[in-house]
């Protein structure tokens, strides 16, 4: 009888110990563990945001470099050939330069570049020759023989770059390099870095574009930048 009682006590004790161990194993995270997890999540989110900011800044820097680079190429071309890129002609004379010039067409050589805002490559425009001439001269990269909308240079925001001599955004005149599909935050930053920060004054102007579409710059100004919009921005060369 005594042995039976002892065995029953031992069995009860084992069941109690088992329940205690099970209860211990089912406990939740400690405050320290939760804090560590939150810190890791915060670091991951911060890294993603910082990475996005670095990418945005890199695109803004590249776009600013493109404005400067095309302006330099434009001036350098004039220094070498004593003609305006795009207006330089006639065709036979410039093709005789050889090399990449063999398939290039000339402008009307009247001493003034003419390029519509719409970049339609229609008769009378010299925007296609503008890029042909700079490419053939080696000032910018690309195939000098191409004269289509798709052959226009891409900007850092996946839009297109083009030139126009028609007035844009509040009457900005002269020869202008334009970029489409520029996010509002980047357009504002570029304006602050290179001009006066206003979309309707100074040498850089902007108008609201259509998201995902390469739109021509409009004549009307827009007032203020909004980060929700995409813009076509134009800067005088």
In a domain, 16, yes or no: no
pLDDT single digits (tens) 60-100: 999 999 999 999 999 999 999 999 999 999 999 999 999 99
CA dist., res. 126 & res. 131, Å (int)? 9
pLDDT digits (tens, 9 = 90+) for 141-174: 999 998 888 888 999 999 999 999 999 888 899 9
Alpha helices in 137-235 (DSSP H): 184-194
Whether the CA torsion 53, 51, 230, 85 is positive or negative: it is positive
In a domain, 171, yes or no: yes
| φ/ψ of residue 121, rounded to 5 | 55, 40
Q: Is 204 a member of any domain?
A: yes
Q: State how far the Cα of 5 lies from the Cα of 16, in Å rounded to an integer.
A: 17
Residue 153 lies in a domain: yes
Q: Based on the structure, what is the number of domains in the chain? A: 1
| pLDDT single digits (tens) 165-218 | 999 888 899 999 999 999 999 999 999 999 999 999 999 999 998 777 777 888
Q: Give the domain CATH number at 164.
A: 3.30.1690
Q: Is residue 205, in this structure, part of any structural domain at all?
A: yes
Q: What is the pTM of this model?
A: 0.77
Residue 167 · residue 195 · CB < 8 Å: no
Q: Which residues of 52-78 are buried (b: 16+ CB within 10 A; e: fewer)?
A: eeeebeebbeebbebbeebeebbeebe
For β-strands 230-236 and 204-208, DSSP reports them as: antiparallel
Closest CA to 66 of 77, 74, 55: 74
Give the residue ranges of DSSP H helices in the chain.
2-25, 31-81, 91-95, 127-136, 184-194
Span 105-132, pLDDT tens digits: 999 999 999 998 887 776 678 988 999 9
Residue 168 is part of which domain span? 63-236
């Amino acid at each position: 009888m005594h042995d039976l009682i002892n065995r029953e006590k031992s069995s009860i004790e084992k069941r109690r110990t088992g329940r205690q161990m099970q209860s211990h194993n089912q406990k939740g995270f400690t405050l320290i563990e939760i804090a560590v997890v939150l810190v890791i999540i915060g670091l991951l989110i911060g890294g993603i945001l910082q990475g996005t900011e670095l990418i945005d800044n890199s695109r803004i820097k590249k776009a600013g470099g493109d404005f400067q680079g095309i302006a330099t190429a434009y001036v350098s071309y004039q220094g070498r050939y004593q003609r305006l890129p795009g207006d330089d002609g006639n065709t036979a004379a410039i093709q005789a330069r050889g090399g990449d010039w063999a398939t290039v067409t000339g402008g009307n050589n009247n001493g003034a570049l003419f390029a519509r805002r719409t970049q339609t490559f229609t008769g009378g425009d010299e925007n296609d020759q503008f890029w042909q001439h700079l490419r053939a001269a080696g000032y910018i990269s690309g195939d000098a023989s191409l004269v289509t909308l798709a052959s226009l240079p891409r900007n850092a925001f996946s839009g297109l770059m083009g030139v126009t001599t028609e007035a844009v955004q509040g009457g900005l005149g002269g020869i202008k390099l334009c970029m489409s599909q520029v996010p509002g935050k980047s357009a504002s930053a570029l304006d602050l870095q290179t001009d006066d920060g206003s979309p309707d004054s100074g040498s850089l102007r902007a108008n609201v574009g259509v998201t995902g579409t390469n739109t021509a710059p409009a004549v009307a100004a827009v007032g203020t930048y909004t980060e929700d919009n995409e813009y076509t921005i134009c800067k005088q060369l």
